[in-house]
C-alpha cells in the first residue's frame, strides 16, 4: 500500500504526518530528518516510506512530494505542541487553495476536541 493506491482517509492521515510537525532537514549530501522528539521523526519517516515525502519548509510554505510530484502547502498558522494542549495544529492552504487544519497529539486531547464538535457536519474524523 502506498499514497497512490489507498483510501482518501489513509492518504490524509499520512499527509497530516508529513505536514504537522517540527522536523527539520539537515543540510548536507543526503536528506536526513532532525527532530527534538523521536516520535516526530518516526511519523515523518513513516509518511515518506508511504510515498508522502516532506522535502522542506520555508517561512511561508511546506514542500511535500506526493506520488512523485512536488507540492507546496502555504502555512497560514501553526500552533506548536505544548504540554497543556497536548497537541500540535497547522492550518494550511493546499495547492488547490483549500484551507485545511491538521492536528495531531495525545489521544485524550483529540478525543475531547472531537467530542465537543461531534454533531457538526463540517468536521469529520476517522479512526486510525
**CA 7 – CA 5 distance, rounded (Å):** 7
Under DSSP, is residue 65 helix (H, G, I), strand (E, B) or coil?
A: strand
Q: Number of helices (H) and strands (E) in the chain: give both, helices first.
A: 3, 7
pLDDT digits over 55-108, tens only? Answer: 999 889 999 999 889 999 999 998 888 877 777 889 999 999 999 989 886 565
Closest CA to 83 of 49, 109, 115, 114: 109
Amino acid at each position: 500500500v502506498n499514497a497512490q493506491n489507498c483510501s482518501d482517509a489513509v492518504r490524509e492521515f499520512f499527509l497530516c504526518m508529513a505536514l504537522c510537525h517540527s522536523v527539520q532537514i539537515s543540510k548536507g549530501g543526503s536528506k536526513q530528518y532532525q527532530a527534538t522528539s523521536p516520535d516526530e521523526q518516526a511519523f515523518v519517516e513513516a509518511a515518506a516510506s508511504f510515498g508522502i515525502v516532506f522535502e522542506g519548509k520555508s517561512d511561508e510554505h511546506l514542500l511535500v512530494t506526493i506520488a512523485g510530484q512536488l507540492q507546496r502547502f502555504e502555512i497560514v498558522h501553526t500552533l506548536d505542541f505544548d504540554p497543556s494542549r497536548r497537541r500540535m495544529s497547522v492550518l494550511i492552504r493546499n495547492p488547490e487553495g483549500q484551507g485545511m487544519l491538521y492536528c495531531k497529539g495525545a489521544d485524550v486531547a483529540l478525543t475531547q476536541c472531537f467530542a465537543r464538535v461531534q454533531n457538526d457536519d463540517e468536521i469529520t474524523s476517522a479512526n486510525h
